[in-house]
Amino acid sequence: MNYFRAFFSVLALSWCLTGCSDSNEKSGTPELPPRLAQGKAIVEANCYVCHAQGINGAPIIGNQKMWDKRLPKGVDTLVDHAINGFAGMMPPKGGNQDLTDQEIRLAVEYMVSQVSQ
């Protein structure tokens, strides 16, 4: 009987401790700062189709080689290209005119932050 009591006590304690841990800690994914988390949400809702697959030459999120020639231009230039469109390949605001310039900036900052991680 004492064996079962000890077993279930340990099991219950482990469930409690698991419930208290951070889910990001379990996955090994660090939590993003709020600004980048906002940018990530914008990217996932608006930019992911092209920037996950490289459609029309869109630099793939996290792909160092594809971003190497863009990063030296600076974030302000990349934001300008995203807002106004670029080279006939990137439509203005990614084709979503409802996005604000600030939302575009957050999305660009998030994508840039993912390059060397």
DSSP collapsed to 3 states, 7-28: HHHHHHHHHHHHHHCCHHHHHC
Query: What's the pLDDT at 18?
Result: 42
Give the three-state DSSP class for 26. helix
Query: What's the pLDDT at 105?
Result: 98
Encode pLDDT of 47-68 as tens digits. Answer: 999 999 999 999 999 999 999 9
Give the three-state DSSP class for 50. helix
- Check pLDDT > 50 for residue 42: yes
- Stated pTM of the model: 0.74
Phi, psi of 74 (to 5 degrees): 95, 155
> Up-side HSE of residue 46: CA atoms within 13 Å toward CB?
27
